[in-house]
Amino acid sequence: MAKLVNQNHRIQPINLFEYEQLAKEHLSQMSFDYYSSGAGDEVTLQDNRAAFARVKLRPRMLVDVSDRNLTTNILGQPLQLPLLIAPMAFQCLAHPDGEIATAQATASTGVGMVLSTMSTKTIEEVAAVREKLPNALQWFQLYIHKDRGLTRALVERAYTAGYKALCLTVDAPVLGQRERDRRNEFTLPPGLHLANLTNISGLDIPHEKGESGLFTYFAQQLNSAVTWRDLEWLQSLSPLPLVVKGILRGDDAVRAVEYGAKAIVVSNHGGRQLDGAIASFDALAEIVAAVDERAEVLLDGGIRRGTDILKAIALGAKAVLIGRPILWGLAVAGQPGVSHVISLLQDELNVAMALSGCAKIQDIDSSLVN
Ligand code: FNR
Ligand code: LAC
């Protein structure tokens, strides 16, 4: 297991919440607010956590759990535990190595990574991590820009660079209203850019009085007219399997499957888009039932404990994604910090499985939750 070695700090975080506390000291107010905030009153952000607390476990006793196995696979690729890192923009705000550190940590711990369109390292730089660790599972997350040629170029680059799936985020036709970003007039500091976009089209996050530059960027550059039919166009651009991220209703999940999605990410974008939306965990069971094994179902939003992963898998998720805690690990200690965050979750899941009578991931069934 990775251990965090960092002599500058008295305390070694022992859970993901302590990482957040420590990360706050390493980040500017603007960066911490951008990373941590949700939309509006942050009701959905908080409910993502509360939803896990509402569901209780029904552990099974006297099962031989001496030999535990946390491995699984997702879209046919192996994972050391049912975990991927959610796509998150601007990771160089946390650490100069940004998305490359995240990619190295995920590749070496055997979990997946989804690279954001809005990354601060390029598609190719992140893919290069696979030269040493070829089994790393990397997906590319897509935002559809108004400029179709630009969008096509991103998909082609991701395919050429060896990403294994295209993850289309569908819950952000406009950016959610995050008031802290607006107050801070969020923009990227000098030297940081939209690494995938600046070179090909000169696009950058503006600085605007009284507004979040990212909000303005979305309004100006992203295509808010995207509908289901565009999924056909998207799938014609490359042979990559399509993952649809940001679904909260069974009927939408069925549509996604009918339009060819191989996996669905049940998500409300970490409470950053529509405040008042249902907690993602609360939407899981309906979507699992509606999909009826025609696609793999993943979940993100508020996962901070091994028991949260256990509950998500019990309700039918094939794997989960975590977001913010990875940024906290990155801010505290770069790649070793990210690896440590992953290993803390792995240890917690391992113990939670043992205490629930599950020796392997396949043993986690719906009878474990009330
Ligand atoms: C995100 N998220 C996100 N999603 C996406 O599809 N593309 C993106 O570029 C981003 N960017 C982004 C930045 C930051 C700072 C955060 C916190 C989140 C949403 C992300 O993929 C995921 O859905 C949530 O973060 C999951 O919730 P938790 O684990 O952060 O609670
Ligand atoms: C966010 C966008 C970039 O949540 O997805 O900040």
List, as one string, the DSSP characters of 150-171. Answer: HHHHHHHHHHHTT-S-EEEE-S
Q: Where residue 8 falls among pLDDT bands split at 50, 70, 90?
A: low
How far is the centre of ligand 2, averaged over its atoms, from the C-alpha of 184 (Å)?
16
Round to whole Å and give the CA distance between 74 and 136: 12
The answer to whether the CB of 316 falls within 8 A of the CB of 369 is no
Q: Measuring CA to CA, which residue among 344, 305, 345 is closest to residue 51?
A: 305
Residues with CB under 6 A from ligand 1: 34-35, 48, 86-89, 116, 118, 141, 169, 245, 267, 269-270, 272, 300-303, 322-324
| Least confident among 9-18, 75-84, 297-306, 335-344 | 9-18
For position 202, what pLDDT does the model report? 81
10-22 in b/e form (b: 16+ CB < 10 A) is eeebeebeebbeb
For position 186, what pLDDT does the model report? 98
- Residues 200-210: what's their mean pLDDT? 90
ipTM for the assembly: 0.99
Q: Nearest 5°: phi and psi at 46?
A: -70, -35
**For ligand 1, mutation pick of 99, 269, 321 (most atoms within 8 Å of CB):** 269
Atom 6 of ligand 2: nearest residue by CA position: 89
Round to whole Å and give the CA distance between 233 and 49: 36
Amino acid (one-letter) located at 219: A
The model's pLDDT over 206-259, given as tens digits with 9 standing for 90+, comes to 999 999 999 999 999 999 999 999 999 999 999 999 999 999 999 999 999 999
Round to whole Å and give the CA distance between 208 and 215: 10
Quick check: 1 pLDDT over 50?
Answer: no
The model carries a pTM of: 0.97
The model's pLDDT over 116-156, given as tens digits with 9 standing for 90+, comes to 999 999 999 999 999 999 989 999 999 999 999 999 999 99
Q: Which CATH class is domain 29-175+226-368?
A: alpha beta
How far is the centre of ligand 2, averaged over its atoms, from the C-alpha of 269 (Å)?
8
How far is the centre of ligand 1, averaged over its atoms, from the C-alpha of 237 (Å)?
25
Quick check: 87 pLDDT over 50?
Answer: yes
Atom 18 of ligand 1: nearest residue by CA position: 88
Q: Measuring CA to CA, which residue among 315, 242, 306, 248 is closest to residue 83?
A: 306
The answer to whether the CB of 303 falls within 8 A of the CB of 337 is no
Quick check: 3 pLDDT over 90?
Answer: no
Q: Is 118 in the pocket of ligand 2 (CB under 6 A)?
A: yes
Q: Measuring CA to CA, which residue among 102, 5, 10, 53 is closest to residue 327?
A: 102
Residues belonging to the active site: 269
Alpha carbons within 13 A on the beta-carbon side of 99: 30
